[in-house]
Amino acid sequence: MPDASLTLEDGGAVLRLSGIAPDGRDLRFHAIWLRDNALDPATRDPGNGQRLITLGDIPADCHLSDVRLDAGQLHCTFAPDGHMCAFPLGWLRDHAYDRPHANNAAALPEGAEVWDATLNASVPSGVMPDLEQNGAALRDWLAAIRRYGFAKVTGMRAEPGALFGIVDLFGHVRETNYGRHFEVRTEVNPVNLAYTGLGLQAHTDNPYRDPVPTLQVLACLENSATGGENMVVDGFAVARKLRDEDPRGFALMAGHDARFAYVGGGGVHLRSRRPMIELGPDGALQAVRFNARSAAPITDVPFDDMADYYAAYRRFSALVDDPTIQVTFKLAPGEAFIVDNTRVLHARRGYSGAGTRWLQGCYADKDGLLSKLAVLEEEA
Ligand code: FE2
């Protein structure tokens, strides 16, 4: 980059770099930021990349005493300790923070996109033997989960425990008080065909845990009853619709904790206090929690806001129930699906008639999934 040039400002507290940003803007870096992020082996372990210093090791009056460009590298000398290090200009461009920081109201995580019922035409799916043997197929399937927050799996063995094979593709089971896995099994009364298994409203699982399980896997072993389809809803799409319709209601749901509880047998009393719509400090969407069955009394919303909070909560619930945003599929034995439990709500439709419905479920975590995806993408 022959056009790069640099200037020290504010007594060496700030470096201004020209000619490296694609849009032509200058990029400024603070001396303290550069020193803290130095790439030299005394600052970062060359093996694992872990930082070897703390801020206490950097003088409070750290500043740049000398800078120069050479062969695509920025060479820095810091004062008062005389520390020297170099940064590739490409690294500085990739890690620049001197840019407009937009208000990211309800922005989606990187790689995610919202969806609605039109996704019924192309439900993301992978075939188990491909996922186990073909890195590109696994990468594409994991990327679909990052993008949509759910995906199906077909071609599994319809055997107890087969669901663990899905988690083995990327990570580890999250064991809970329900065990390593749980059974979802219903015998529909064969002599009373009018019997109808109740549907369940779409929900996220276990909002009473903190942290919640960030992935859920449900695998089908038997499904001979009529109905009983699985349904998923994009909680981020619901949150963004609410924000468009009722910004104040959205802000109330994001700005106040709800409470969730589960009191089970065997000395289990799980409680959490978290918002139903969770945002990052920049307003970007981080998670939704929605589960009428385990919602505890909400006591963190001021009296004067409670009526409006409930109006927004009711609207969120109605949007979840709107068929135009729901994706529905019936699992056959040997099929499964995985959901990002911080984003996608899942449900079971009602079922009737003679037959058996048997699924096994387990939890896992998204950090392992995204780690596996990052490794596969680096290899590609
Ligand atoms: Fe559930």
Which tens digit of pLDDT belongs to each residue from 42-89? 999 999 999 999 999 999 999 999 999 999 999 999 999 999 999 999
pLDDT score of 169: 98
∠ Cα 330 333 337 (to 5°): 55
On whether the pTM is more than 0.75, the answer is yes
Question: Nearest-CA neighbor of 36 among 55, 64, 11?
Answer: 55
Question: Nearest-CA neighbor of 190 among 339, 67, 354, 77?
Answer: 354
pLDDT score of 250: 98
| Contact predicate 268/177, CB 8 Å | yes
pLDDT confidence of 281, banded at 50, 70, 90? very high
pLDDT score of 192: 43
Task: Please say if the pLDDT value at position 194 is more than 80.
Answer: no
pLDDT score of 104: 75
**Average pLDDT of the chain to the nearest whole number:** 94
% of the chain exceeding 70 in pLDDT? 96
Q: pLDDT, tens digit, for every residue of 68-80? A: 999 999 999 999 9
From ligand 1's centre to the CA of 370, what distance in Å? 22
**What is the arrangement of strands in the sheet containing 268-274, beginning at the earlier edge strand?**
268-274, 258-264, 295-296
Task: Please say if the pLDDT value at position 196 is more than 80.
Answer: no
From ligand 1's centre to the CA of 368, what distance in Å? 21
pLDDT score of 189: 57
From ligand 1's centre to the CA of 203, what distance in Å? 6
From ligand 1's centre to the CA of 35, what distance in Å? 48
C-alpha torsion sign, points 331, 333, 338, 343: positive
From ligand 1's centre to the CA of 112, what distance in Å? 22
Beta bridge partners of 103: none
| 5-94 is classed CATH 3.30.2020.30 | yes
For 156, counting Cβ atoms within 10 Å of its Cβ (0-12 exposed, 13-18 middle, 19+ buried), the class is: buried
Contacts for 371 with CB less than 8 Å, ≥ 6 apart? 170, 171
From ligand 1's centre to the CA of 259, what distance in Å? 18
- DSSP conformational letter for 75: E
The mean pLDDT of 6-11, rounded to a whole number, is 98
From ligand 1's centre to the CA of 329, what distance in Å? 15
From ligand 1's centre to the CA of 183, what distance in Å? 12
From ligand 1's centre to the CA of 38, what distance in Å? 46
From ligand 1's centre to the CA of 96, what distance in Å? 42
From ligand 1's centre to the CA of 307, what distance in Å? 28
From ligand 1's centre to the CA of 235, what distance in Å? 14
From ligand 1's centre to the CA of 216, what distance in Å? 8
From ligand 1's centre to the CA of 222, what distance in Å? 18
From ligand 1's centre to the CA of 200, what distance in Å? 8
Q: pLDDT, tens digit, for every residue of 128-161? A: 999 999 999 999 999 999 999 999 999 999 999 9
pLDDT confidence of 188, banded at 50, 70, 90? low
Residue ranges of the chain assigned to CATH 3.30.2020.30:
5-94
Task: Please say if the pLDDT value at position 314 is more than 80.
Answer: yes
The mean pLDDT of 185-212, rounded to a whole number, is 76
pLDDT score of 10: 98
From ligand 1's centre to the CA of 205, what distance in Å? 5
Give the lowest-confidence range in 184-188, 205-209, 292-296, 314-318: 184-188
From ligand 1's centre to the CA of 61, what distance in Å? 54
Question: Nearest-CA neighbor of 327 among 113, 123, 108?
Answer: 123
From ligand 1's centre to the CA of 132, what distance in Å? 26
Q: What share of the chain is helix, strand, coil (3-state, %, to 5)?
A: 30, 30, 40
Residue ranges of the chain assigned to CATH 3.60.130.10:
117-379
Show the tokens assigned to 66.
């000398």
Homologous superfamily assigned to 117-379: Clavaminate synthase-like (3.60.130.10)
pLDDT confidence of 225, banded at 50, 70, 90? confident
**Other Cβ atoms closer than 10 A to 246:** 17
From ligand 1's centre to the CA of 348, what distance in Å? 8
Task: Please say if the pLDDT value at position 92 is more than 50.
Answer: yes
Show the tokens assigned to 48.
């694992």
Helix count and strand count (H, E) for the chain:
9, 24
Task: Please say if the pLDDT value at position 335 is more than 50.
Answer: yes
pLDDT confidence of 187, banded at 50, 70, 90? low
% of the chain exceeding 90 in pLDDT? 87
Residue the block writes with tokens 């109808």: 196
pLDDT score of 193: 42
Question: Nearest-CA neighbor of 119 among 167, 152, 142?
Answer: 152
